[in-house]
Amino acid sequence: MSSRRATTTALVWDVDLTRADLRLALQSARSDAGWELTGAELDAEVDFLIHVGGHWAAGTVVERPADQLLARGVRAEPLG
């Protein structure tokens, strides 16, 4: 989230965050990139990340071609 660059890929991590922690991290990352989300927009994005993140194991590389989310592969080395 903190790369501050547009991207079509993400790496799934298994981290110990509460929903509030994720919301704050996302809000900070978006704000740093110049995007201000409203409360409803921010909550919807947090809900989306929680929902889709639960579909893949930690280490999965997820890509977004057009309007889809696909697992591209899994990293061999451990995360963290």
Q: Residue 42 and residue 24: Cα distance in Å, rounded?
A: 9
User: Tell me: the pLDDT tens digits for 12-43?
Assistant: 888 888 999 999 998 998 888 888 888 999 99
Q: Residue 41 and residue 3: Cα distance in Å, rounded?
A: 20
Structure tokens at 33: 């990139």
More confident residue, 52 or 20: 20
Q: What Cα–Cα distance (Å) separates residue 80 from each residue in 4, 35, 39, 58, 75?
A: 21, 28, 30, 10, 12
DSSP state of 31: H
pLDDT at 40: 94
Pairing of strands 60-63, 70-74: antiparallel
